Structure 1
Amino acid sequence: MFSYISKRSLNPTLIGKLFKTPPHRRLTKNVGIPCTANPIHANSKYTFETIERSFSTLDIQSAPSTAKLTMSEEEIRGLMSVFPDIVQDLVETTRRYEAHDLAEWYKKALEYNLPLTNKKNGLITVLAYKSYVKGEELTPEKLKLARILAWCVELSHCVLFLTDDMTDKSTTRRGRTCWYKLDGVGVNAVNDALLFENGIFELLRKHFRHLDCYTDLFEVYFECMFMNISGQATDGIISRRPVSTFDMDVCFSIIRNKSSSNFFYLPAAVGLLLAGVKDHKIFDECKAITFELGEYAQILNDYLDSFGNPDFTGKIGTDIQANKCSWLVVKCLELATPEQRAIMEECYGQEDPQKIARVRALYEEMGMPRVFAEFEEEKYKTIKRKIDQTSVPELYDVFMEILNHVSKRGVK
């Protein structure tokens, strides 16, 4: 999913690589840095590319890694070691239903798409689990179960990416051609997304049905995935409306459902459930903070859609021509003069390259990079303060690791 740089220590050469606009036009102002949950209701043949990249406006020094539980390379290797088992389990499912012709296709789809997800979101599951299960209690068997749950999280993200790429007409995902754009795939990607989604519940049934948390795991996956689908659907509905109707209420409704539930709350919640946590207050606190982190990550993603370098983000931004109700366009409309609003209404949501370029130029003219930087500074401080004051100290390291991860651009 998704290291940042600050306006305090801007390196013109680095900025020129990271962003599409010239350094002299980039950020010049100095900066520093709910719903309730219901817990009741290394040596693999596969390789995964990890790209560290700086996108944020925050000073890399302002988000030191203080967490004891970290998304380390060792943790990633541990997660990857389970990947062959995940593929084998899911492919064997098709054979159990005598869908023999599907087996090879399913294997190909899994091996192409799952490596494109951000394994660090799945690692949140492992870290949340380790926050409560430690020492001799943390057996290899239990740790493997946590990693299987982490891959269920990654599968849920695959569902999002497969459908999102199609609706947004994207061409690349993390530097590789989108699945639906490959020869022989096309609209069949919709069915593949359904296979991935149902694969989650096949894995849960195989590995967790003997545990007390089995029903709770199902319910939290259903809850978060329904929220995600609701956000996706709302995003599509709103994108068919005139840009003049966009506002922050709608924007944040999309963000909360589409991103906040799935990115950070889901992986943390399933890790807690596996660890045997049942206190509703812990889930409430987890949801409150992870939803804030999800908002931060999605708004950053909205910003990078227009101001990120595709060589580093791994995808070409499409929000402008797709008429997306993103944080960036809504904030632009809030600050625009009547003349600037007229330009947005004429050019936003159009496929014409000149109109797309005009919107991007308007963002620059209005100083949207500076506006985002000021927002990011305040958002970071707000989240950091909430983490420092958390009523669940067991999750402090997990929350801080996610915050450091987002502020170094590890999502999406």
Structure 2
Amino acid sequence: ILEDLKNIIEGYGQPETFLWIKKAIEYNIQNANMKIAQLCIRTYEELIKSLNLKYSNIKYAYILAWCAEIFNVAILISDDVLDKGNMRRGLTSWPRLENVGILAITDAFILEQIVYALLKKYFSHLKCYTNLIELFREVSLRSACGKHLEFMYTRKSVEEFKRETYNMMAVNKGSYYNFYLPFTLSMNLACFTDPQILTQCLDIFYQIGLYFQIQNDFLDCFGTIENCGKIGTDIEDKKFSWLAVTCMELANEEQKQIMLECYGSKDPLKVQKVKDLYKALDLPSIYTAYEKESYEKTKTLIKQLSNGVPQDIFFDILNKIYRGVF
């Protein structure tokens, strides 16, 4: 893949740009668990078994997996630019590195466009080519819309935080590129595109993606750098988070006033007041109850999948998220 990138970018007469983008990719995947690539490959392998297909396209599955991971790097870099994040996967975030800074914006743009160049080279002769392009475009737009809404809500009063809006933001922001994209890429490569099955899969990914984001929100406040890969700053950044939404639903007028005065403040004392309020409202217990309920609901949806869809893949994703290792 790197050789392909070299040929593409150096073909524009910019070898220095290739070396820079190569560095960006290598830096951002060095601590990655490659979960998106693994999901892409495993889905394809399981589908061709269930459909009794040959392994003739397994090479393409690996290329798609790399496209999905590069796409993921582009999204994460964009996130860190917007959020001014200091840490990512236990390392200094790419935009925070010396000599990177605002240049990270063009890095993210180049990385996403590289995906389309790779798709053209390897898949333009296949029937699924158009679908693959449209999948990346759809997920790119959905992810950007989700991130846009999250960022816009940092400018609003916490009184405007509503659960229905939060749920859609959470799913669009993370579910589509983490789960829906690698799975449906492989489905299209295997020519397995039954609309009914895709709808069933979307319902499952909605639940998984929402659970994944809520877990992320909870760990930002109550987790550690070891299980988050970064220091949580959702309270200071006035993030549109599950904890804040749930808090405002349960709080009395006095407690709501604490949120209005303290949520979004960089003052450590005010941040602690918000954390103390979360504990007073027993949000950790509410989260645990939600976690169990969501897990059981998702298990039921997976068991209802139509024949031909490998349920083990979904159970594997669910169990990894439930254990906090996805």
Normalised by the length of structure 1, the TM-score is 0.76
Structure 2 CA distance, aligned partners of 1:343 and 1:283? 44
In structure 2, which of residues 245, 255, 271 is the aligned counterpart of residue 356 of structure 1? Answer: 271
Matched, 1:156 2:71: yes
CA distance in 2, matches of 1:278, 1:175: 38
CA–CA distance in structure 1, aligned partners of residues 274 and 89 of structure 2: 25
Is 1:321 aligned to residue 236 of structure 2? Answer: yes
Amino acid at match of 1:398: I
2:118 to 185, 199, 203: 203
Task: State the shift of 1:375 in Å.
Answer: 0.6
1:159/1:194 contact within 8 Å kept? yes
Gaps of 5+ in 1: 1-85
- Greater shift in the superposed pair: 369-378 or 358-367: 358-367
Q: What's the CA shift for 1:137?
A: 4.4
1:104-119 map, 5 Å = 104-119=19-34
Aligned position for 1:123: 38
Q: Which has the higher contact order (CA 8 A, sep 6+)?
A: 1
Q: Which runs of 4+ in 1 moved over 4 A?
A: 135-138
Task: Give CA deviations for 1:303-351 in whole Å, capped at 9, x if unaligned.
Answer: 1110111123211111111111111110011111111111111000111
- CA-CA distance at 1:138 after TM superposition: 4.3
Please report how far the alpha carbon of residue 134 of structure 1 lies from its aligned counterpart in structure 2 after TM superposition.
Answer: 3.0
Letter paired with 1:142: N
SS at match of 1:187: helix
CA distance in 1, matches of 2:302, 2:189: 23
Q: How does 1:38-77 map to 2 (within 5 A)?
A: none
Cα–Cα, structure 1 residues 237 and 274, in superposed 2: closer, same or farther, change >3 Å? Answer: same
1 CA distance for matches of 2:70 and 2:33? 11
Q: Percent identity?
A: 37
For 1:277, what is the secondary structure of its paired residue?
coil
Query: What's the counterpart of residue 287 of structure 1?
Result: 202
The aligned length equals 325
Cα offset for 1:156? 1.9
1:335 is the counterpart of 2:265 = no
Q: RMSD across aligned C-alpha pairs, in angstroms?
A: 1.5
Tell me if 1:244 matches 2:159. Answer: yes
Distance 1:89 1:365 in 2: 55
In the alignment, the residues of structure 2 paired with residue 138 and residue 402 of structure 1 have an alpha-carbon distance, to the nearest angstrom, of 25
Provide Cα deviations, 1:221-260, integer angstroms capped at 9, x if missing partner: 1111110011011111111111111110221121121112
SS of residue paired to 2:125 = coil
1:102 corresponds to which residue? Answer: 17
Please list the CA deviations of residues 167-223 of structure 1 after superposition, one character each: whole Å capped at 9, or x if unmatched.
222211111110011110001011100011111111111111111100110011111
- The code of the aligned residue for 2:8 comes to T
Match of 1:191 among 106, 122, 137: 106
| Shift in CA distance, 183/277, structure 1 to aligned 2, threshold 3 Å | same
Are positions 1:134 and 2:57 aligned together? no
Please report how far the alpha carbon of residue 115 of structure 1 lies from its aligned counterpart in structure 2 after TM superposition.
Answer: 2.9
- Structure 1 equivalent of residue 85 of structure 2: 170
Question: Matches of 2:307 and 2:284 in 1, distance apart?
Answer: 35
8 A Cα contact 2:71 2:112, kept in partner: yes
Cα deviation digits, residues 51-99 of structure 1 (max 9, x gap): xxxxxxxxxxxxxxxxxxxxxxxxxxxxxxxxxxx22222221111112
The offset of 1:392, in angstroms, is: 4.1
Task: State whether residues 94 and 103 of structure 1, in contact with CA within 8 Å, keep that contact through their aligned partners in structure 2.
Answer: yes
- Distance in 1, matches of 2:324 and 2:307, equals 25
Instruction: Name the structure with the higher helix share.
Output: 2
Q: Where in structure 2 are there 5+ consecutive unaligned residues?
A: none
Post-superposition CA distance 1:372-396 (Å, at most 9, x none): 0011110001001111121245221
User: Aligned AA for 2:96?
Assistant: K
Does residue 268 of structure 1 match 2:183? yes
Which amino acid counterpart does residue 264 of structure 2 have in structure 1?
A: G
For 1:159, the aligned partner's letter is: A
Could you say which residue in structure 1 is the equivalent of 2:325? 410
